[in-house]
Amino acid sequence: MNKQQVFNPYLPSWEYIPDGEPHKFGDRIYVYGSHDKFNGKTFCMNDYVCWSAPENDLSDWRYEGVIWRKEQDPMNPKAKHSMYAPDVCQGPDGKYYLYYFCDYMGVIGVARCDTPAGQYEFVDYVHYADGTRLGKKKGDIFQFDPGVYVEGDKVYLYTGFCPTFYPFFLTGGKPISREGAVVTVLKPDMVTVDVDPKYLKARCKRNSAGTPYEGHEFFEAASMRKIGDKYYFVYSSFLGHELCYATSDKPDGEFEFGGTIVSIGDVGLNGVKGVKDAKNYTGNTHGSIVEACGKYYIFYHRQTNRHCFSRQACAEEITIKPDGSIDQVEVTSCGLNGGPLKGVGEYEARIACQLYSAKGCRFYSVFKGGEGIHPYFTQTGEDRESDGDQYIANIRDGSVAGYKYFDFDGAKSLTVSVKGNGVGKFTVTDENGNVVSIVSITAQKDYKDFTADLNVSDGTHALFFKYEGKGRIDFNKFILA
Q: What pLDDT, in 10s, does the model give residues 17-31? A: 999 999 999 999 999
Segment 376-380 shows an average pLDDT of 96
Can you give the pLDDT at residue 167? 63
Domain topology for 21-337: Tachylectin-2; Chain A (2.115.10)
Segment 308-326 shows an average pLDDT of 97
CA–CA gap between residue 130 and residue 127 (Å, rounded): 8
Residue 6 has pLDDT above 70, yes or no: yes
Can you give the pLDDT at residue 351? 98
Can you give the pLDDT at residue 202? 85
Eight-state DSSP code of residue 147 = E
Confidence of residue 370 (pLDDT cuts 50, 70, 90): low
Can you give the pLDDT at residue 206? 86
Can you give the pLDDT at residue 163? 86
Reduced to 3 states (helix: H, G, I; strand: E, B; else coil), residue 351 is: helix
Domain ranges across the chain: 21-337, 349-480
Can you give the pLDDT at residue 367? 63
In this predicted model, what pLDDT tens digit does every residue of 270-281 receive, in sequence order?
A: 999 999 899 999
| pTM (2 d.p.) | 0.97
Confidence of residue 177 (pLDDT cuts 50, 70, 90): confident
Find out if CATH 3.30.420.280 is the number for domain 349-480.
Answer: no
Distances in Å between the Cα of 111 and the Cα atoms of 33, 52, 126, 474 are 15, 19, 11, 43
CA–CA gap between residue 42 and residue 50 (Å, rounded): 21
Residue 168 has pLDDT above 80, yes or no: no
Cα-to-chain-centroid distance, residue 154 = 28
Residue 84 has pLDDT above 70, yes or no: yes
CB 388 within 8 A of CB 381: no
Confidence of residue 344 (pLDDT cuts 50, 70, 90): very high
Can you give the pLDDT at residue 386? 78
Residue 197 has pLDDT above 80, yes or no: yes
Residue 186 has pLDDT above 90, yes or no: yes
Residue 399 has pLDDT above 90, yes or no: yes
Q: Would you please indicate which residues are annotated as catalytic (active-site) residues? A: 19, 220
Can you give the pLDDT at residue 166? 67
**For the chain, what is the mean pLDDT?**
95
Confidence of residue 366 (pLDDT cuts 50, 70, 90): low
Confidence of residue 169 (pLDDT cuts 50, 70, 90): low
Residue 442 has pLDDT above 80, yes or no: yes
Percent of the chain surpassing pLDDT 70: 97
Can you give the pLDDT at residue 179? 84
Residue/partner pairs of 54-57 with CB below 8 Å, 24 or more apart? 54/27, 54/28, 54/29, 55/24, 55/27, 55/28, 55/29, 55/292, 55/293, 56/1, 56/27, 56/292, 56/293, 57/1, 57/2, 57/3
Residue 408 has pLDDT above 70, yes or no: yes
Can you give the pLDDT at residue 176? 78
Least confident of 254-263, 345-354, 366-375, 429-438: 366-375
Can you give the pLDDT at residue 286? 98
In this predicted model, what pLDDT tens digit does every residue of 217-256 receive, in sequence order?
A: 999 999 999 999 999 999 999 999 999 999 999 999 999 9
